[in-house]
Structure 1
Amino acid sequence: MLPARATVLRRGSTSLLVDRRGTTIGVLALLLALGLAAWSLGLGELRFTSEDIGRILLGGGTLIEHDVVVGTRLPRAIVAVLVGAALGASGQVLQRIAANPLASPDVLGISTGASLGALVSLLLIGGSAVVTMVGALAGAAIASVLVIGIAHRQGASGYRIILVGIGVGALGSSLIALILTRAESYAAHSAAIWLTGSLSNRGWTHVQVIAVALLVGVPALAVLSRHLPVLELGDDLAQILAGRAAALRIGLVAVACGLAALATAAAGPIAFVALVAPQISRLLLGGRTGGPFLSAGIGAVLVISADLAAKHLFPVELPVGILTACLGAPVLLVLLARAARKGSA
């Protein structure tokens, strides 16, 4: 019995060490994201020093300077950081629940559902930005309910959630293609830009949407994510240890999908951030699994960095989703290759 107890203690100490290391790295990542966001306020056709930025934020400066910094650049930077954090945390939870590194809102159809809802609002209803966000939320909510509802019919295992999500995403993609082919050319072009994921023209309404998502989702994840280690043991053992494994799993999936839905509503479907952030988290922890907070910090850095690059490194500003897709596609191929090697071993 003594050696077994010693083993348990060592494992507990290792987990505590990983948690502390993950929290520290997460804080540093979040500080880096905030630093990049602050730096972005001074970049552009009108350049400002840090002293200028401080003066403008405190109410000084001309009307033009105030409009550029407070009305345009600041909400864009805040949305980038918050959207990245929401997507990173969402991807971490979904990957741990499904026990699959390929699990993300993109794969599970949540982002596709949000895109479909936004397209319906843009092309069929012709609504404003607020109506478009409401449509994106509604589409993501419907996709989440479909995934959770269908998968839960037989226990909501991680493998079943992935399969159902792929099917829901395929259905959503087909409907998106159908709507785009029926739309007028100008409207279809505007919708295609939104579908790439863009942070241009983000305002304080978008900040409020994603801020509400994090204010509600982060405390919920803080409570529910404590059960993730038990759920990772498998459905049968988790049911014995936790007694309500299915309910916990559904709750975590619902919160993760909600974060991804509101992030997509605020900035469009920014691809692969939710997939890549947990993988970087695992690399930083030496192959061990980190918590949602660490992935949230990494996601924030990824999105604000990609937005800065998309805005300032090219002759024409690119949608941020294009750069995140260029980053995420190779990661996806690597993960698929690893899965294939494990399957053939």
Structure 2
Amino acid sequence: MKNSSVETIINGINQRRRRWVLVTSLLSALLIALCCVMLILGNTIYPIGQVLRTLLGEEIKGVDFAVNNIRLPRMLAGLFAGFAFGIGGNTFQTMLRNPLANPNVIGITTGSSAAAVFCIVILHTSDTIVSIASVVAGLATVLFIYLFSRGKTFSIGRIILVGIGIQAMLNALISYILLVGKQQDIPAALRWLTGSLNGSQMDELPSLVIAVLVFAPIIIMLGKHLSILELGEQSAISLGVNTDKTRIALILSAVFIIALATAVTGPIAFVAFLSGPIAKRLVGVGFSNAIPAGLVGANLVLASDLIGQFAFDVRYPVGIITGIIGAPYLIYLLIRMNRKGEL
């Protein structure tokens, strides 16, 4: 009887592991396909052979400029920003045990947005300064949320409520800046606020790429502890997890990559919100869904950008498409949580 129970547990673990590997492999394959399509499609459709030769350094008239200066930076920005939003949003949702506890809802991306709009509309600074300001503001927003939500014990509800309040305040500030700003500066600020891959440049990407390569592995390595935190504060402590240090490491890692992604592409709506739940549905329970969430985020951004660019007569920024996808899910989630008495 004991051996039978052990075999059942082992079989269940192996089955979940196979499912995780299968889902991750399929998401990776889809991502590679979308990256290829991003490089091929445009005003002119280039054969994959010419694109590959151009990427390897061969100069082909017309193809070289379009691929290396327009399509490749756009694809890389969508790839790394989508992965950053996906894994960062999943980290907050899992750690705080609430699907509403994502960077969009609790104000982190709004803090970055407020700083960027201020630099664009009021200070008229360079893109580099805008990026630095948005990263610093994202970190400062997290610090304010932490300070204002402090109590005798860690409270998920308090953090979410304080975050929503700070987000509302920052949105009001953004509206005021747009109201008093000069007319010629408003379009640039609105394009940034919408979230867009338009105009992505290679020199903007190194900081985002480095941040993802440094901080995403930290989140992945702490995936087991993150899953334990999902059980609750007391359960995590009883299982030997240093909750304070683990939480600080996860928050800082997630905030850095989200803030840098926001600095490059703007706050692409709902990617951080959708990626974790979708990955969890696909992967199931038992294994960390940090990597699948990142892959879902990257797939969402690239697929939405392709839809926005080629599915309609007018070209739309990627943030509009992800907003159209994410808004119904948010309404559904709120209705479901209200019925369960979680709101």
Shorter-chain TM band = over 0.9
Tell me which residue corresponds to 1:284.
282
Report the alpha carbon displacement of residue 8 of structure 1 after superposing the two structures with TM. Answer: 8.0
Structure 2 residue matching 1:314: 3-state secondary structure: coil
Deviation of 1:254 (Å) = 2.1
Contact 2:197 2:265 in 1 (8 A): yes
Q: Secondary structure in 2 aligned to 1:41?
A: helix
Q: Write the letter of the residue equivalent to 1:104.
A: N
1:1-345 equivalences in 2 (<5 Å): 14-15=12-13, 17-62=15-60, 64-286=62-284, 290-343=288-341
Residues 93 and 100, structure 2, Cα contact 8 Å, conserved in 1: yes
Total equivalences in the alignment: 343
Residue 166 of structure 1: how far off its partner (Å): 1.1
CA distance in structure 2 between the aligned counterparts of 1:246 and 1:64, rounded to whole angstroms: 54
Please tell me whether the aligned partners of residues 91 and 275 of structure 1 are also in contact (alpha carbons under 8 angstroms): yes
SS at match of 2:323: helix
Q: What displacement does 1:200 show?
A: 0.4
Give me the whole-angstrom Cα distance separating, in 1, the residues matched to 2:5 and 2:96.
27
TM-score after normalising by structure 1: 0.92
Please state whether the residue corresponding to 2:325 is helix, strand or coil.
helix
Q: Does the aligned pair in 2 maintain the 1:120–1:135 contact within 8 Å?
A: no
Deviation at 1:14, TM superposition (A): 3.5
Deviation of 1:33 (Å): 1.3
Kept in 1: contact 2:194–2:268 (CA 8 A):
yes
Pair 1:23–1:91, CA change in 2 (3 A)? farther
Q: In 2, are the aligned partners of 1:281 and 1:289 still within 8 Å (CA)?
A: no
Deviation for aligned residue 1:11? 5.3
Superposed CA deviations along residues 136-168 of structure 1, whole A, max 9, x for unmatched, are: 112211112212333344443332221221122
* Cα offsets for 1:61-86 (capped at 9, x unmatched): 34542121001100100111111111
Question: 1:113–1:172: 8 Å Cα contact kept in structure 2?
Answer: yes
1-side partners of 2:153 and 2:191: how far apart? 39
Q: Distance in 2 between matches of 1:243 and 1:66?
A: 52
RMSD (CA atoms) = 2.3
Q: Which has the larger displacement, 214-223 or 156-165? A: 156-165
CA contact (8 A) 2:225 2:241 kept: no
CA deviations over 1:167-224 (Å, ceiling 9, x no partner): 2211211111111111011212221111000000001123212201211111211222
Contact 1:282 1:289 in 2 (8 A): no
Cα distance in structure 1, aligned partners of 2:278 and 2:132: 32
What is the TM-score of this pair, normalised by structure 2? 0.92
Q: Is the 8 A contact 1:97 1:228 kept in 2?
A: yes
Change (3 A) 1:153 1:223: farther
Worse overlay, 299-308 or 214-223: 214-223
Pair 1:107–1:200, CA change in 2 (3 A): same
Secondary structure at the residue paired with 2:205?
A: helix
Cα distance, 1:257–1:301 mapped onto 2, change above 3 Å? same
- In the alignment, the residues of structure 1 paired with residue 4 and residue 161 of structure 2 have an alpha-carbon distance, to the nearest angstrom, of 40
Alpha carbons of 1:216 and 1:336: their partners in 2 closer, same or farther (altered >3 Å)? same
2:222 aligned counterpart, secondary structure: helix
Query: Following TM superposition, by how much is the alpha carbon of 1:330 offset from its aligned partner in structure 2, in angstroms?
Result: 0.6
- Which shifted more, 300-309 or 8-17? 8-17
User: Cα deviation per residue 1:77-105 (whole Å; 9 max; x = unaligned)?
Assistant: 01111111111111111111111112211
Question: Following the alignment from structure 1 to structure 2, what is the Cα–Cα distance between the partners of residues 28 and 188?
Answer: 41
CA contact 2:104–2:270 (8 Å) conserved in 1? yes
* Cα 1:16–1:86 shift into 2, 3 Å: farther
**Alpha-carbon separation, structure 2, partners of 1:16 and 1:257:** 33
For the residues of structure 2 that align with 1:184 and 1:16, how far apart are their CA atoms? 60
- 3-state DSSP of counterpart to 1:271: coil
1:95-136 Cα distance to aligned partner (Å, 9 max, x none):
111111122110110110110111121112211221211121
Separation in structure 1 between the aligned mates of residue 288 and residue 223 of structure 2, nearest angstrom = 11
Shift of 1:23: 3.7
CA contact (8 A) 1:196 1:322 kept: yes
